[in-house]
Structure 1
Amino acid sequence: MSEPWRLLSLLPLPNDATLAALGDVAERMKLTLLPASSVEDLHAALADAEIVLGAWQSAGAQHVDTAAVAATGPDLVFVQQPSAGVDVLDVPGLTARGIPVANAAGANARGVAEWTVGAALALSRSIPFADGGVRAGGWPQMDVVRRGHGEIGGLRVGILGFGPVGAIAADLFAAFGCDVAYWSRTPREVPYAWLEPAALCARSDILVLALPLTPDTHHLISADLLAALPAGAYVINVGRGNLLDSDALVAALDSGHLGGAALDVFPVEPLPADDPLRRHDRILLSPHAAGATRQSVARIVEKSVANLRRVLAGEPVIDVVNGLDPVIRRRR
C-alpha cells in the first residue's frame, strides 16, 4: 500500500470545522492543519506538502505567493484554491513548476450577486447614511430626501462580465423591474442586450463590475467611462479592485456626477487606513466579503473537497485554471 497523500490545509476555519468539512478525506490523507500561521511556519509546511488546500482571505500569511512557491518542496503536485479568484496564489510560478491549480468557480456566485443587488438598494435608499446619522444622535430625514432617495425599479442596469455572478445578478435586477444590459467578450443567448463597454456605461444608472482582472481589464473603468455614466449613477464593484480607477471614482463622486458607489474589492487589501475611499459618505465599503454567506462557504468547501476525492480516486480534477493536466500524479 502506498503512503497517504500529504495534504496541507490553509482553510481559515477552526481545526474541528476543517476536519468536519474534509470528512473522509481527513482520514485518507496525512493532514497538516495551518489555519493561521507565520510566514516561516507556512514555508516550512509547504516544503513537505504534496497537495495544498488554500486560504480564501485576502490578507494573512497563508498566501501561496512567489516567496511561498520558492519554498515548496519537490513533491508538490496540486493546489486547490477554495475560491473563484486565485489572486492569493502565484499562478505563473506554480505553472512553471508544472503544478495544476484548480479553483471553486461559481460556488459563491449567488452570494455575490445578492450582495450586488443589496448594495444597489442600500445606495439608492441612502441606508448607510441614514443609519449613521441616527446612530450619531441625529434625525436626517430630510437629508436623505435631499440626497436623491429613490427606487431601483425601472432603472437601467449595466453588467460588465457575464459569468455566474453577472448572470444571476441580471436575473435578480430584472425581477425588480430593471432594464438590464451587459457586456462580455462573447455575447450570450440571454434575454438582455449586449453592448460594448462605452455604450453600456452611457445607458447605465447602475453599473456592476463583475469581471476578472486581466491586463485588458485593468482600469477598464477610467475617468472617461465614469464621465459617460448618466448623472447620479451608481457603481458597484464585485470583480477586482483594479478594474476601477479609484482616484477617478472619488473625483466623480466629489464633483457630484455620481450618486454613489459600493465596493467589495480594492486595489490593495486590506484597504489602507488613509485611503481616500474610507472618507467618502457616498461609498459603501465591504471587506471582500460579498460571497461569504454560510451557503457559499459550504458550496466552496464541498466543491474543493470533491476535487481532493478525485485525486484519491485517480480521476481528473475539475476547474483547473492554468491549463495543466487535470490528472494529479505523484512525483515519486
Structure 2
Amino acid sequence: MRSMFGFTWRFEMTAPWRILSLPPIGEDIVWGLFAPLGDAAEVRFAATADRAGLHAALADAEIVIGDFTGRLRIDAAAVAAAPHLAFVQMPAVGTDSLDVAALTARDVPVANAAGFNRRGVAEWAVGAAFALCRNLAWGDRRMREGGWPQPELLALRPRELHAQRVGIVGFGAIGAESARLFEALGCEVSYWTRRPRPEASATYRDLDDLVASSDVLVLAVPLTDETRGLIGPDRLALLPDRALLVNVARGGIAPDDAVLAALDSGRLAGAALDVFDTEPLPDGHPLRSHDRVLLSPHAAGGSDLSQLNLVAMVRDNVSAAVRGETVRNVINGVDPQVKRR
C-alpha cells in the first residue's frame, strides 16, 4: 500500500497458480511447456509416485495434469485431499482414471485432449484390419520359425479389406476418422453411438444389428459404467462367422475372457488388441500366445504427430486456465471458466 497526494494506492500481488503434473509425462517436458507463464504459475510434482505422494501433492494443488496410465488415479479420496483443486486436465481422451462424478460434485471442470490422436489411432485400426485380413502376423511368425507356409496361409482364406463390412462402435473423433478411412478404401461402413450423427456418411445401426452385420468390428467408444462389458459374450455370439475384432478403445469394453472364448469357438477369426482388462498384460496371459491375435501395448495413438498434438493441447488449455480464459474440451458439464478456491 502506498500514499501519494492524499490518495491511497493498493497493490496486490496475485499468487502463482499451483500446477501439479503427475507421471508419466516427464518433468523436463512439463517445465518446458509452462516456462512461458513465468511467475503466473508454479509447476510441482509428486515426491513419490504412490498414493501417499499423490495425496500430499494434492493438498495445495489448484490445477492437476492427470496420470493417463491410471496408476495415480484421482478417485474420491484424492478429490477430498485436494481442497484447492480448480481444474483437471487429462493428457488423453479417456477420463477413466478420474472419479468424474466426485470432481463434478465439487464443481471442478475436467477437460480431456479430445481428437489429439484421431488420425493416428484410425490409421492403426485400418492397418490392424489389413493385417488380420491377410494374416500378416501369422505368416511372419511361421517364416521366422524357418517355415514356408504358403499353402497353409492360403488355406486361411485371406481376404481383401475393401470387400468387408466394417462396423464401428462409437462415433467420436476416432470413430468418425476411422469410418472416413475405411470408406476411402471402398468398405461398406456402419456405426453405432448413443446419439446418431445425421451428418455421418456411414450408416447408423442399432448395436445388435451392427454387430450381426460386421465382418470387421472396430471398438472406439470411451470406457464408462455404461460401456463396460458392452461387447461381451452375448454380443460376440451375434458376429458373422469368421468376423474380425479391432479394439482401439479400452480394455473391459470387450472383456479379455470373452474375446478368448470367441476366438477359441471360431466365432472370431482374429483380433487386433491395443488395450486389455489389465495393463500391462500379465506375463503368461493366454492372449500372449494365441495364434490369431495381433497384440499392441496400448500404443495405437503413439505417433510423433499425435504426441505433438497432445502436448500442445495440454499446454494451451492449462495456460488458458492460468490466464483466466475459458478452457476447452470440458467433459463433465462444469463451467469452463476456471475459478480459484
TM-score normalised per structure 1: 0.91
C-alpha contact 1:100 1:325 (8 A) present in aligned 2: yes
Query: What code does the residue aligned with 1:96 have?
Result: A
Q: Are 1:326 and 2:336 counterparts?
A: yes
Q: Are 1:198 and 2:213 counterparts?
A: no
- 121-130 vs 212-221, which moves further: 212-221
Quote how far apart the aligned CAs of 1:162 are. Answer: 1.0
Query: What code does the residue aligned with 1:80 have?
Result: Q
Q: Quick check: which has more Rg, 1 or 2?
A: 2
CA distance change for structure 1 residues 229 and 297 in 2, over 3 Å: closer, same or farther?
same
Q: Work out the CA distance in 2 between the residues paired with 1:234 and 1:36.
A: 42
CA distance change for structure 1 residues 57 and 20 in 2, over 3 Å: closer, same or farther?
same
C-alpha contact 1:156 1:179 (8 A) present in aligned 2: yes
CA distance change for structure 1 residues 35 and 204 in 2, over 3 Å: closer, same or farther?
farther
Residue deviations 1:229-288 (CA, integer Å, cap 9, x gap): 221110111122222143232122112222101111222222233433223121112222
Quote how far apart the aligned CAs of 1:294 are. Answer: 1.7
Name 1:282's counterpart in structure 2: 292
Residue deviations 1:128-169 (CA, integer Å, cap 9, x gap): 222222233333333322222222122110111111111110
Quote how far apart the aligned CAs of 1:67 are. Answer: 4.0
Q: Work out the CA distance in 1 between the residues paired with 2:48 and 2:32.
A: 18
**Which of residues 80, 84, 91 in structure 1 aligns to 2:100?**
91
**Which of residues 46, 55, 61 in structure 2 aligns to 1:43?**
55
Quote how far apart the aligned CAs of 1:304 are. Answer: 1.5
Q: Are 1:264 and 2:274 counterparts?
A: yes
Question: Pairwise CA RMSD of aligned residues?
Answer: 2.1
Structure 2 gaps, min length 5: 1-12
Quote how far apart the aligned CAs of 1:113 are. Answer: 0.8
C-alpha contact 1:10 1:35 (8 A) present in aligned 2: no
Quote how far apart the aligned CAs of 1:18 are. Answer: 2.5
CA distance change for structure 1 residues 225 and 35 in 2, over 3 Å: closer, same or farther?
farther
Q: Work out the CA distance in 1 between the residues paired with 2:273 and 2:215.
A: 16
Name 1:120's counterpart in structure 2: 129
Q: Work out the CA distance in 1 between the residues paired with 2:303 and 2:68.
A: 13
Q: Work out the CA distance in 1 between the residues paired with 2:38 and 2:89.
A: 15
TM-score normalised per structure 2: 0.89
Quote how far apart the aligned CAs of 1:14 are. Answer: 3.1
User: What is the SS of the residue equivalent to 1:6?
Assistant: strand
Structure 1 gaps, min length 5: none
Query: What code does the residue aligned with 1:244 have?
Result: A
Q: Are 1:186 and 2:195 counterparts?
A: yes
Q: Work out the CA distance in 1 between the residues paired with 2:279 and 2:288.
A: 13
Give identity over the alignment, percent: 50
Name 2:261's counterpart in structure 1: 251
Query: What code does the residue aligned with 1:52 have?
Result: V
- 177-186 vs 211-220, which moves further: 211-220
Name 2:156's counterpart in structure 1: 147
Query: What code does the residue aligned with 1:308 have?
Result: V
Q: Work out the CA distance in 2 between the residues paired with 1:23 and 1:298.
A: 17
Query: What code does the residue aligned with 2:305 have?
Result: Q
Q: Work out the CA distance in 2 between the residues paired with 1:232 and 1:125.
A: 13
Name 2:79's counterpart in structure 1: 69
Q: Work out the CA distance in 1 between the residues paired with 2:224 and 2:17.
A: 34
Name 1:3's counterpart in structure 2: 15
CA distance change for structure 1 residues 128 and 21 in 2, over 3 Å: closer, same or farther?
farther
User: What is the SS of the residue equivalent to 2:270?
Assistant: strand
Q: Are 1:52 and 2:64 counterparts?
A: yes
Name 1:159's counterpart in structure 2: 168
**Which of residues 235, 241, 246 in structure 1 aligns to 2:251?**
241
Q: Work out the CA distance in 2 between the residues paired with 1:35 and 1:151.
A: 53
Query: What code does the residue aligned with 1:270 have?
Result: P
Name 2:120's counterpart in structure 1: 111
Q: Are 1:317 and 2:320 counterparts?
A: no
Quote how far apart the aligned CAs of 1:36 are. Answer: 7.3
Query: What code does the residue aligned with 2:51 have?
Result: V
Quote how far apart the aligned CAs of 1:4 are. Answer: 0.6
**Count of aligned positions:** 328
